[in-house]
Amino acid sequence: MSAAALETPIYLDHHATTPCDPRVLDAMLPWFTESFGNPSSATHRFGWAAEAAVEDARERLARDIGASDSREIVFTSGTTESDNLALQGVVRAAGGPASGHVVTSAVEHPAVLDACAALERDGCEVTVVPVDGGGRVDPGAVAAALTERTRLVSVMAANGEIGVLEPLAEIGAVCRERGVLFHTDAAQMAGKLPLDVGALGVDLLSMCAHKLYGPKGVGLLYVRERSPRIRLEPLLYGGGHERGRRSGTLPVPLVVGFARAVELCLEEMPAEVERITALRERLREGLADGLPDARVNGDPERRLPGNLNVCIPGVEADALIAALKDVALSAGSACASASGEPSHVLRAIGLSDSAARASLRFGLGRSNTPEQVERVVQRVLEEVGALRERSPGAGRRLSGN
């Protein structure tokens, strides 16, 4: 095996996960060894110290997302659990699935869509509103879908495949006017762009640490405490932790790391947004110059700074990714990549199955450099050329959606 093959690939899959920042790890380490107490142990100083660390992290995270009360933060194992707790918790606490109705969008993460499907099997009515060709939900379509039975609207903040930002404030205003709760999965937006639950009119919000340079295995669900105060049926029982909303011993090191990771993102956000946007544009321009028939999927302006999802006619994305052994990329959501089906997000914005299979996602992040972007452009152009030579005419077959 060559020395080049042993080198660590350039990592451009930051929507799937991010490396834990060394500063976050430093904050976590003492809570693994020196201060290892259970935050629920109320009879000695080890437990008291752990509880104080958790509550400090809870207060900091509440402040960072604009929550008015730290009690509105419920710690979970990650965004998937938070999404399920929001959807199933609200519907089951409000009379059960058989009497409920949920509105969501066609481009949601599987954690939301599968939770909706589970509720639907139990008798809940689910309305999936479409998106436009750029991947954005029309607030008017949400308003039209609402009924007297609607318990919850769930629309993500930013799409993990095409990076498109949804009009949360407008949807939040619709929901507030109609007296319907509004949930958003903000896993991809958190840490990358400002997030304020009050300004957005959000009643419930899911996010996690590992998408923003924190540890895997911890997330949160923001649950508004007043105007309105939200009732949730828990998914997990056994101990009544998190004020009865989520039982289970809290992972103190992960909670501490979560709060530190968010703070670092906020501190560095202005400069990082500018830097990563410039890298994305250089990547887009380089690919466009070498591949004039390539096209960007999703709204070209209202998107995450580090996201670029591109359809390259004549090339199967899986084949291109396999050829790019020195670049870590994906064709879409890591949580759905094993299905083998074309992306439901790309199909929802109007791409054919063949065009969807010719699309791949670049996810730029904190560790990427201009030199890496230049190298990636060079390597993509090389491998696309080689693949097209082996399959001439494929580009013409994919010239349209």
Distance CA 102, CA 92 (A): 12
Asked whether 327 and 361 are in contact (CB, 8 A), the reply is no
Dihedral sign of CA atoms 337, 338, 344, 350 in order: positive
H or E, element range at 307: strand 307-311
Total residue count of the chain as it appears in this document? 401
Catalytic residue among 175, 265, 311, 335: 335
Residue 223: strand pairing partners: 204
Q: How far apart are CA 252 and CA 240, in angstroms?
A: 17
Q: DSSP H helical segments within 291-348, as ranges? A: 317-323, 344-348
Q: For residues 275 and 298, is the Cβ–Cβ distance under 8 A?
A: no
Dist CA 306 CA 361 (whole Å): 10
Angle (deg, nearest 10), helices 45-64 and 252-290: 30
Residue 393: CB partners within 8 Å, gap ≥ 6?
Answer: 314
The DSSP call for residue 137 is B
Q: How far apart are CA 190 and CA 266, in angstroms?
A: 10
d(CA 240, CA 90): 18
- Structure-block tokens of residue 186: 């903000």
Is 358 within 8 Å of 397 (Cβ atoms)? no
Q: CB atoms < 10 A from the CB of 400, how many?
A: 9
Please state, as a whole number, how many other Cβ atoms lie within 10 Å of the Cβ of residue 315: 27
Q: Active site includes 335?
A: yes
β-pair type (219-223, 73-76): antiparallel
Closest CA to 255 of 35, 68, 18, 88: 35
| Separation in Å, CA 167 to CA 103, 116, 135, 202 | 15, 21, 11, 12
Catalytic residues: 335
